[in-house]
């Protein structure tokens, strides 16, 4: 019988509460495949999907590859864990002349009558008898015949191991709020936190008419791409035009970005409080721009009193971030030439080592509390459904 053999990763490390993480993962798998007909079976250390439409196998695999918590999967043949049945499967292996191969056996069920090494030798002989021109290569084979003997009395035979997302099941680590610009970094930050089990809403600031409707549309498209991995997303949109105009008219230009980001953080914290979100996520990478120096992040983060700020890209360079963005298919959207609000009134020489004393002096020139209240009063909420 054709099946898909699913493996999970670091759930092995969980103790007495492992069942909570595992149940979340199972729920996520079933949700991801909603609309498909299939049978799901749990066996120790593995999940098995069977009785699915073989013509849709490629589509199902791509969906499963997006599920956080799954480490890898394999299209496999399920047979009874009996030596003769496994040998029959080995007889169906066809290798071209000169192909090299090896047999790898995992024996989770120690009741199986012979050892993994003995079975591997036995199956190698069967394959060589059917393919006399093939050669055994234990170190760098072209072809690996894998046999996984499980505790459910079944053996799974496969030649392909497809890498999945890994991490922890989505929904196992609480909820957060992603500050989502139109750039490359913030979608990657959301993905990385989701990989640690965090579900999130997203928050975008726009500055119409200084930024175009296309800039807003770009963020909608980025969010849709993220839903492939994180499910439905509530996107909070805040008009930031009045805030930026007020800072521009009243404050020192070199401190404009710092003050702007502090107000963004205040608004983010308020939205978290209102929506029962327990963290703020940003795409900041240490030293990438003036607002992402250690001093700048200290000053901007200081206004958040009750929540952690997660910066998963903090130690990554731009090439690493871009590589993940391309994997997520957000990169080409992010580089579209529609600027976000962070580029409006951009100062020529933004301060890179702000001090809290100077920032407070500059902030005193504007009514921060009133500006925050006005932004929140005009919040727009868009629900982006899973793609």
- Give CATH for domain 2-163: 3.30.2130.30
Q: Residues 314-331: what's their mean pLDDT? A: 96
pLDDT on residue 80: 95
pTM summary value: 0.91
Q: Could you read off the pLDDT of 36-89 as tens digits, one per residue? A: 999 999 988 899 999 999 999 999 999 999 999 999 999 999 999 999 999 999
| Domain boundaries along the sequence of the chain | 2-163, 175-384
Q: Residues 208-228: what's their mean pLDDT? A: 89
Give 175-384's CATH code, choosing from 1.10.569.10, 3.30.200.20, 3.65.10.10, 3.40.50.620: 3.40.50.620
Q: Residues 99-103: what's their mean pLDDT? A: 94
pLDDT band at 232 (very low <50, low <70, confident <90, very high): very high
SS (H, E, C) the chain: CEEEEEEECHHHHCCCCHHHHHHHHHHHHHHHCCCCCCEEEEECCEEEEECCCHHHHHHHHHHHCCCCCEEEEEEEEEEECCHHHHHHHHHCCCCCCCCEEEEEEEECCCCCCCCHHHHHHHHHHHHHHHCCCCEECCCCCCEEEEEEECCCCEEEEECCCEECCCCCCCCCCCEEEEECCCCCHHHHHHHHHHHCCCEEEEEEEECCCCCCHHHHHHHHHHHHHHHHHHCCEEEEEEECHHHHHHHHHHCCHHHHHHHHHHHHHHHHHHHHHHHCCCCEECCCCCCCCHHHCHHHHHHHHCCCCCCCEECCCCCCCHHHHHHHHHHHCCHHHHCCCCCCHHHCCCCCCCCCCCCHHHHHHHHCCCCHHHHHHHHHHCCEEEEECCC
Residue 347 pLDDT exceeds 80: no
pLDDT on residue 140: 94
pLDDT on residue 195: 97
Residue 179 pLDDT exceeds 90: yes
Q: Residues 360-365: what's their mean pLDDT? A: 96
Q: Residues 175-186: what's their mean pLDDT? A: 95
Q: Could you read off the pLDDT of 187-199 as tens digits, one per residue? A: 999 999 999 999 9
Q: Residues 356-365: what's their mean pLDDT? A: 95
pLDDT on residue 214: 86
Return mean pLDDT, the chain: 92
Q: Could you read off the pLDDT of 292-310 as tens digits, one per residue? A: 899 999 999 999 999 999 9
pLDDT on residue 339: 66
Q: Residues 158-162: what's their mean pLDDT? A: 95
pLDDT on residue 95: 86
pLDDT band at 338 (very low <50, low <70, confident <90, very high): low
pLDDT band at 345 (very low <50, low <70, confident <90, very high): low
CB of 242 closer than 8 Å to CB of 178: no
Q: Residues 331-346: what's their mean pLDDT? A: 74
């Amino acid at each position: 019988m054709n099946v898909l053999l699913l493996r999970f990763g670091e759930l092995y490390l969980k103790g007495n509460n492992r069942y909570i993480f595992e149940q979340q993962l199972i729920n996520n798998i079933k949700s991801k495949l909603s609309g498909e007909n299939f049978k799901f079976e749990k066996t120790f250390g593995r999940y098995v999907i069977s009785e699915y439409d073989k013509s849709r196998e490629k589509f199902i695999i791509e969906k499963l590859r997006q599920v956080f918590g799954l480490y890898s999967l394999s299209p496999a043949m399920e047979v009874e864990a009996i030596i003769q049945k496994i040998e029959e499967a080995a007889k169906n292996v066809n290798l071209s002349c000169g192909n090299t191969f090896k047999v790898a056996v995992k024996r989770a069920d120690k009741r199986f009558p012979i050892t993994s090494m003995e079975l591997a030798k036995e199956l190698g002989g069967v394959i060589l008898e059917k393919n006399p021109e093939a050669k055994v290569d234990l170190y760098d084979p072209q072809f690996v015949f894998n046999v996984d003997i499980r505790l459910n009395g079944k053996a799974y035979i496969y030649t392909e191991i497809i890498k999945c997302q890994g991490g922890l099941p989505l929904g196992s680590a609480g909820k957060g709020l992603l500050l989502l610009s139109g750039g490359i970094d913030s979608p990657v930050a959301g993905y990385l936190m989701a990989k640690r089990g965090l579900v999130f809403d997203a928050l975008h600031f726009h500055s119409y008419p200084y930024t175009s409707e296309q800039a807003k549309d770009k963020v909608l498209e980025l969010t849709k791409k993220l839903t492939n991995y994180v499910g439905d997303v509530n996107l909070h949109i805040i008009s930031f035009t009045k805030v930026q105009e007020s800072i521009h008219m009243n404050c020192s230009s070199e401190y404009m970005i710092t003050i702007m980001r502090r107000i963004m953080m205040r608004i983010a914290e308020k939205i978290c409080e209102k929506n029962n979100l327990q963290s703020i996520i940003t795409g900041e990478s240490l030293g990438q721009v003036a607002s992402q120096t250690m001093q700048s992040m200290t000053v901007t983060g200081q206004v958040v009193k009750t929540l952690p700020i997660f910066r998963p890209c903090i130690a990554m360079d731009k090439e690493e971030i871009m590589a993940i963005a391309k994997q997520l298919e957000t990169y080409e959207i992010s580089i579209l030439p529609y600027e976000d609000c962070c580029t409006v009134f951009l100062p020529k020489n933004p301060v890179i080592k702000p001090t809290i004393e100077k920032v407070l002096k500059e902030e005193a020139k504007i009514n921060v509390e009133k500006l925050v209240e006005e932004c929140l009063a005009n919040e727009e909420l868009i629900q982006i459904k899973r793609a």
